[in-house]
Amino acid sequence: MVVGDIATGTELLVIGAGPGGYVAAIRAAQNGIDTTLVEKDAYGGTCLNYGCIPSKALITGANLAHEAGNAEEMGIHADPVVDMSQLRDWKSGVVDQLTGGVEKLCKANGVNLVEGTARFKDENAVRIAHGGEGQGSETIEFEHCIIATGSRVIQIPGFDFGDEPVWSSRDALEADTVPERLVVVGGGYIGMELSTTFAKLGADVTVVEMLDDILPGYESDVARVVRERAEDLGIDMHFGEGASGWRDEDDGIMVTTETEDGEENEYRADKVLVAVGRSPVTDTMDIESAGLEADDRGFLSVDECRRTDVEHIYAVGDVVEDTPMLAHVASKEGIVAAEHVAGEPVAFDSQAVPAAVFTDPEIGTVGMTEADAEEAGFTPVVGQMPFRASGRALTTNHADGFVRVVADEESGFVLGAQIVGPEASELIAELAFAIEMGATLEDVASTIHTHPTLAEAVMEAAENALGQAIHTLNR
Amino acid sequence: MALKEFKLPDVGEGVAEGELVTWHVAPGDEVTEDQVLAEVETDKALVDVPSPFNGTVEELLAEEGEVVPVGDVIITIREDGDDEETAKAADADADAETADSETAESDDADDGSSSGGRVFAPPSVRRLARELGVDLDSVDGSGPSGRVTEGDVRAAAEDDGDGDEPNGPRTVQSNGKSATAKRDEGTSASAAASAESADREQTLAAPATRALAKEEGVDIDAVPATEMRDGEAFVSPDAVAEYAQAQREAQAADAEAVAAEPDAGAATAEATGDAASEPAPPETGPGAGERVPYKGVRKAIGDQMQRSKYTAPHVTHHDEVDVTELVELREQLKPVAEDRGSRLTYMPFVMKAVVAALKDFPYLNSQLDEDNEEIVLRDEYNIGVAAATDAGLLVPVVRDADRKGMLELADEMNEKVEKARNRKIAPEEMRGGTFTITNIGGIGGEYATPIVNYPEVAILALGAIKDKPRVVDGEVVPRKVLTLSLSFDHRVVDGAQGARFTNRVKELLEDPKLLVLE
């Protein structure tokens, strides 16, 4: 590391090496742009280190143990013991492999990697404060910049993540023991994924959600499948309650909640996980010095090529207003920004953004719901295929849920899909592709799908929308 | 929907557009079905456009003098028994359409999908659209349910010359020859930008589109394709019109460029593009002359003549006929005809003679089918009679002249010529001719070299009947003499045959008694 402040120059400076930033940096370098990537913490960002990847590792472990222990009807009798610290080590190994891969890929593509925290000096330069005492700083001048600083978990009053019993999602993923009693504040997708996971690992889980259902933003029939399964797993869900604080008790802690009417409830716990959302990180790098201003929630507004108000400064990922905080959105935006820097005729013009929730069962959605389509002025037609009617679903012993396809009645163009059920996160990809390509119901229905697979349900749902389904009654 | 849009109807086969000459109604007027709304001049004739419904004229959407493509809405008429609300809705619609019309292919902008401006196109196509500066909203998709394909975008890009090109000079393709346009921006940039040409072997287009291309004098294979159909370039009437306009503008710009550089005498049409690096303002002084638009009937005549002359190798055979007896006969018959309400000129006699001769020499009543390499010997005798009108030369056709009597021929011909002069003749009354007679004698002159009315193969021009000295029985006596000039397509008719045909006509006109046998 360099001591003192020396100035170097780069064509493109990317701040943040998460799925938005590292992807942008690699794509820019592939386009022959001299690219510097600054990361203050860990390559891969939240997604690889503290989010998507470790949580999926943990979910896989939890599912495996839970299934093995609950397969008596198949004649499998087992009582698996989960060694949490071993599971954590395995998970960390996966994370390390991926983050190491990101670093290698960046280097192999000629991206200059700089460790440190970037702050804007002006609209063409940042000062990088290197991590650790006395590591000094350096100034990097840039022609273009991509801000990809991502987001951080939201902390709510009364729950300080610095306190040992209060977990953020990141803490939950680092746990080396399963708490006996876990209160989860927030019934959104992160809260529900972790609730399910810890319930399967043996915790006594209570979910406290301010709204009247889990998974706000998802249709009620989709959420219901997950909620019913969560009930089966013994998760206790309380709606219309906001967590107000916690206190130490003799054996653990007491989490207090309040209803809208002011009624108070208390839940005994060993840990409380607060998962109420994430907010963009735009307050650590002096964006004002570059002439930028975030909105009151901290988001940056961008144009279709992800340019901010300062034309040579781009923003991608969770800091961007209006696009969902999803790793794959960040990556796509990163590619768009990088290619735009390279002079390519690109725009973030995706027709639909798929999303997955790794609850039990999983949820996969893309594009419009029936209501969205109606609001957009289409006359939607909907086709549905319950997994109960899928041979493959029955053979996995997971037949809850359905595939639903939404299309425009007149043209047949596929507009959206909601899948709740086994492997929904994988199945949704086909429909995302269909929407991007401007495929019609008939295109999907006419494509031969492998038998016996869950994906057949996608074809069946499209056929159902056309009134031609074989394995369901057409409505 | 009580507010009805009325589109310029197909006023004649092959007619792609018409000039709106006169409106007979104004907004607020009550109109009844079949009432004439407007007069429209096509390349063939002046046509009355009747109202298809009863109602009140809401709005005139074309101005007098405007050239309107067939199918464009020219007037909106509110049908009887209507209320305010729909009026407003209709207005809103109209506004929406106006807004839409800023996009390239506006005329059916509302054909798109039913909703929120969503365009269905794969990502690769969307990217291509950005690359080519094409606004996807303005592209009519040719894929299933209107999905926009790569071909659609490429066609739109060619079509829509003024897409946002980032920078750099553009190369203008003019009839396949390229010339770099470095013209002054602003003045001719748009012309330069939209004058791009294609250069295909084959083009798919509707017959009306081909007719339009011919009328506009553009090579349909050079018109940028609107879309691909079955792998072939497909060209729309709009594309032809746009291309023709671009060509005219480019030519005008070239002309300006030439005018701007008087020294550049060596500048050829091809070179003018880059010669015009510093164009001066175009000359506008009196020396430049009045500019008359080359359009409508004038242009149709021009195109027809050009095609005939450049397609058919012309030969003209000249001869004189002693028509003294014919003159006498006609003098005798004229009052008889008048009694029957007919005006008998020499033309019916000539027509009779020509028909008789055509029967003997069927190749002069034929047509060359170039595509099939066959000569079609026509089994009907439809004689065109060229008429000079204020608008230019028109050729009404007297059909089945072989089956009509002298007075019938006279009446029909007189009537049609009169209609042509008043420009009231219908396009179909000028179609289907197999042979044309043109009378130049009325105005003066001896001989002519008429241009065959393609695809016919021969045309006979009549001079004036004059007193000329002739030797009869060894004595020089004054005789009535008519000159004949027969032009024919030498691909089909050889000189000997042309001469024999003329001799036969001559024989019949010299001794008109023989016509009785015909």
CA distance A255 to chain B (A): 47
Suggest the residue from B110, B111, B118, B132 to mutate for an interface test with chain A (most A CBs closer than 10 A): B118
What is the rounded CA–CA span in Å between residue A186 and residue A215?
A: 9
Determine the 3-state secondary structure of A420 from DSSP. Answer: strand
pLDDT of A122 > 60? The answer is yes
pLDDT of B98 > 60? The answer is no
Closest Cβ–Cβ partner in B114, B116, B145 for A440: B145
Q: A438 and B114 in contact by Cβ < 8 A?
A: no
Name the phi and psi angles at A53, rounded to 5: -70, -55
pLDDT of A123 > 80? The answer is yes
The B residues from 138 to 167 touching A (CB cutoff 8 Å) are 143-148
pLDDT of B6 > 50? The answer is yes
CA distance B122 to chain A (A): 4
Is there a contact between A299 and A315 (Cβ–Cβ < 8 Å)? no
Q: B114 and A378 in contact by Cβ < 8 A?
A: yes
What is the rounded CA–CA span in Å between residue A411 and residue A229?
A: 37
Tell me the β-bridge partners of B174. Answer: B177
Candidates B24, B314, B318, B490; catalytic one? B490
pLDDT, residue B119, reads 86
CA dihedral B87, B89, B90, B95 (to 10 degrees): 120
What is the rounded CA–CA span in Å between residue A142 and residue A125?
A: 6
Tell me the β-bridge partners of B439. Answer: B462
Is there a contact between B70 and B36 (Cβ–Cβ < 8 Å)? no
Let me know if residue B307 belongs to a domain: no
Average pLDDT for A374-393: 96
Q: A412 and B146 in contact by Cβ < 8 A?
A: no
Is there a contact between A185 and A272 (Cβ–Cβ < 8 Å)? yes
Suggest the residue from A304, A408, A442 to mutate for an interface test with chain B (most B CBs closer than 10 A): A408
What is the rounded CA–CA span in Å between residue A405 and residue A415?
A: 8
CA distance A364 to chain B (A): 21
pLDDT, residue A270, reads 97
Closest Cβ–Cβ partner in B113, B126, B145 for A349: B126
What is the rounded CA–CA span in Å between residue A367 and residue A436?
A: 10
How big is the CA angle at A194 (ends A193 and A196), to the nearest 5 degrees? 70
Q: A413 and B114 in contact by Cβ < 8 A?
A: no
A407-441 as b/e, with b when 16 or more CB fall inside 10 Å?
bbeebbbbbbbbbbbbbbbebbebbbbbbbbbbbb
Q: Which DSSP helix (H) or strand (E) runs through A100?
A: helix A84-108
Give tens-digit pLDDT for B102-113.
333 333 334 444
Q: A379 and B121 in contact by Cβ < 8 A?
A: no
Residues B380 and B451 in one domain: yes
Q: Judging by DSSP bridges, how do beta strands B397-398 and B383-388 pair with one another?
A: antiparallel
**B490 is annotated as an active-site residue:** yes
Query: What is the distance of C-alpha A252 from the center of its chain?
Result: 31
Write out the E strands in B43-95: 46-50, 55-60, 67-69, 73-79
Q: Which chain B residue's Cα is nearest to A442?
A: B144
pLDDT, residue B315, reads 93
Give tens-digit pLDDT for B471-492.
888 889 999 999 999 999 999 9
Residues B146 and B184 in one domain: no
pLDDT of B499 > 50? The answer is yes
Q: B115 and A378 in contact by Cβ < 8 A?
A: yes
Identify all chain B residues contacting A412, using CB atoms and an 8 Å cutoff: 144-145
Residues B127 and B210 in one domain: no
Name the phi and psi angles at B432, rounded to 5: 85, 10
| Residues on chain A bordering chain B, Cβ-to-Cβ distance under 8 angstroms | 345-347, 349-351, 376-379, 408, 410-413, 436-438, 440, 442-443
- To the nearest 10 degrees (0 to 180), the angle between helices B150-159 and B123-132 is 10
Q: Which domain holds residue B144?
A: 123-150
pLDDT, residue B13, reads 56
Residues B32 and B69 in one domain: yes
Is there a contact between B117 and B136 (Cβ–Cβ < 8 Å)? no
Q: What is the DSSP letter of B225?
A: P
Closest Cβ–Cβ partner in A345, A436, A440 for B122: A436
What is the rounded CA–CA span in Å between residue B25 and residue B15?
A: 24
pLDDT, residue A82, reads 95
CATH of the domain at B94: 2.40.50.100
Residues B371 and B411 in one domain: yes
Binned at pLDDT 50, 70 and 90, residue B176 comes out as: very low
Let me know if residue B24 belongs to a domain: yes
Closest Cβ–Cβ partner in A345, A378, A438 for B147: A438
pLDDT, residue B44, reads 65
Name the phi and psi angles at A167, rounded to 5: -105, 140
Identify all chain A residues contacting B122, using CB atoms and an 8 Å cutoff: 436-438
Say how many CB pairs under 8 Å bridge A and B: 54
pLDDT, residue B90, reads 41
pLDDT, residue B286, reads 54
Identify all chain A residues contacting B145, using CB atoms and an 8 Å cutoff: 410-413, 440
Average pLDDT for A132-142: 82
Identify all chain B residues contacting A443, using CB atoms and an 8 Å cutoff: 144
Q: B126 and A410 in contact by Cβ < 8 A?
A: no
* A140 phi-psi bin (left φ>0, alpha ψ -120 to 50, beta other): beta
pLDDT of B194 > 50? The answer is no
Average pLDDT for A158-166: 96
Residue with tokens 């109209």: B94
pLDDT of A3 > 60? The answer is no
Let me know if residue B156 belongs to a domain: no
What is the rounded CA–CA span in Å between residue A159 and residue A168?
A: 10
Q: Which DSSP helix (H) or strand (E) runs through A355?
A: strand A355-357
Q: Judging by DSSP bridges, how do beta strands A181-185 and A271-274 pair with one another?
A: parallel
Q: A349 and B123 in contact by Cβ < 8 A?
A: yes
Residue B53 touches chain A, beta carbons under 8 Å: no
Q: B130 and A347 in contact by Cβ < 8 A?
A: yes
Domain end (from B150, B185, B208): B150
pLDDT, residue B426, reads 82
Residues in chain A: 475
Give tens-digit pLDDT for B283-324.
455 566 888 878 777 888 888 889 899 989 999 999 999 999
CA distance B151 to chain A (A): 15
Determine the 3-state secondary structure of B337 from DSSP. Answer: helix
Residues in chain B: 518
Domain end (from B262, B278, B294): B278
Is there a contact between A416 and A366 (Cβ–Cβ < 8 Å)? yes
Identify all chain B residues contacting A378, using CB atoms and an 8 Å cutoff: 113-116
Looking at residue A365, its amino acid is T
Binned at pLDDT 50, 70 and 90, residue B159 comes out as: confident
Would you list the DSSP string of B456-467? SSEEEEE---EE
Identify all chain B residues contacting A437, using CB atoms and an 8 Å cutoff: 122-123
Is there a contact between A465 and A381 (Cβ–Cβ < 8 Å)? yes
Pinpoint the alpha helices (H) of B270-323. Answer: 272-275, 296-311
Q: Which chain A residue's Cα is nearest to B112?
A: A411
CA distance A391 to chain B (A): 32
Q: Tell me the domains of chain A and their CATH numbers.
A: 7-152+280-341 (3.50.50.60), 166-276 (3.50.50.60), 355-465 (3.30.390.30)
Higher local confidence (pLDDT), A279 or B252: A279
Identify all chain A residues contacting B140, using CB atoms and an 8 Å cutoff: none
Give tens-digit pLDDT for B358-391.
999 999 999 999 888 899 999 999 999 998 887 7
Residue with tokens 């492998």: A450
Residues B144 and B175 in one domain: no
Q: A345 and B127 in contact by Cβ < 8 A?
A: yes
Residues B43 and B130 in one domain: no
Backbone CA torsion sign across B277, B278, B284, B286: negative
Residues B268 and B353 in one domain: no
pLDDT of B272 > 60? The answer is no
Name the phi and psi angles at A358, rounded to 5: -95, 50
What is the rounded CA–CA span in Å between residue B151 and residue B231?
A: 9
Q: What is the ipTM of this complex?
A: 0.79
Give tens-digit pLDDT for A188-242.
999 999 999 999 999 999 999 999 999 999 999 999 999 999 999 999 999 999 9
Q: B144 and A440 in contact by Cβ < 8 A?
A: yes
Q: Which chain B residue's Cα is nearest to A346?
A: B127
Average pLDDT of every residue of chain B: 76
Residue with tokens 């992800």: A306
CA distance A357 to chain B (A): 25
Let me know if residue B283 belongs to a domain: no
Task: List the strands of the sheet with B3-7, edge to edge.
Answer: B3-7, B73-79, B55-60, B30-31
pLDDT, residue B294, reads 81
Q: Which chain A residue's Cα is nearest to B143?
A: A438
Average pLDDT for B119-147: 88
Let me know if residue B292 belongs to a domain: no
Is there a contact between A55 and A197 (Cβ–Cβ < 8 Å)? yes
- The gap between the terminal CA atoms of chain B, to the nearest Å, is 61
Tell me the β-bridge partners of B318. Answer: B485
What is the rounded CA–CA span in Å between residue A308 and residue A207?
A: 39
Closest Cβ–Cβ partner in A411, A412, A438 for B121: A438
Let me know if residue B359 belongs to a domain: yes
pLDDT, residue A306, reads 97
Average pLDDT of every residue of chain A: 95
pLDDT of B184 > 50? The answer is no
Let me know if residue B222 belongs to a domain: yes
Residues B178 and B327 in one domain: no
Query: What is the distance of C-alpha B511 from the center of its chain?
Result: 41
Q: How many CB atoms lie within 10 A of CB A160?
A: 11
Identify all chain A residues contacting B131, using CB atoms and an 8 Å cutoff: 345
pLDDT, residue A134, reads 66
Identify all chain A residues contacting B148, using CB atoms and an 8 Å cutoff: 438
Give how many domains chain B has, as a whole number. 4
What is the rounded CA–CA span in Å between residue B448 and residue B386?
A: 14
Residue B392 touches chain A, beta carbons under 8 Å: no
Identify all chain B residues contacting A442, using CB atoms and an 8 Å cutoff: 144
Residues B15 and B137 in one domain: no
Identify all chain A residues contacting B113, using CB atoms and an 8 Å cutoff: 378, 408, 410-411, 413
Q: How far is CA B355 from CA A457, B350, B352, B361, in A?
A: 78, 8, 5, 10
pLDDT, residue B442, reads 77
Q: Which DSSP helix (H) or strand (E) runs through B484?
A: strand B475-489
CATH of the domain at B387: 3.30.559.10
Q: What is the DSSP letter of B109?
A: G
Query: What is the distance of C-alpha A239 from the center of its chain?
Result: 23
Closest Cβ–Cβ partner in A412, A436, A440 for B123: A436
CA distance A375 to chain B (A): 9
Residue percentage of chain A with pLDDT more than 90: 95
Let me know if residue B300 belongs to a domain: no
Q: A346 and B127 in contact by Cβ < 8 A?
A: yes
Average pLDDT for B165-173: 37
pLDDT of B99 > 60? The answer is no
Residues B380 and B469 in one domain: yes
Q: What is the DSSP letter of A118?
A: E
Would you list the DSSP string of A240-279? SEEEEEEEEETTEEEEEEEETTS-EEEEEESEEEE---EE
Closest Cβ–Cβ partner in B121, B130, B146 for A345: B130
pLDDT, residue B52, reads 78
Identify all chain B residues contacting A346, using CB atoms and an 8 Å cutoff: 127, 130
Higher local confidence (pLDDT), B503 or B273: B503
Residues B17 and B141 in one domain: no
What is the rounded CA–CA span in Å between residue A247 and residue A166?
A: 11
Give tens-digit pLDDT for B39-91.
887 766 777 788 877 888 888 888 888 888 877 888 888 876 544 444 444 44
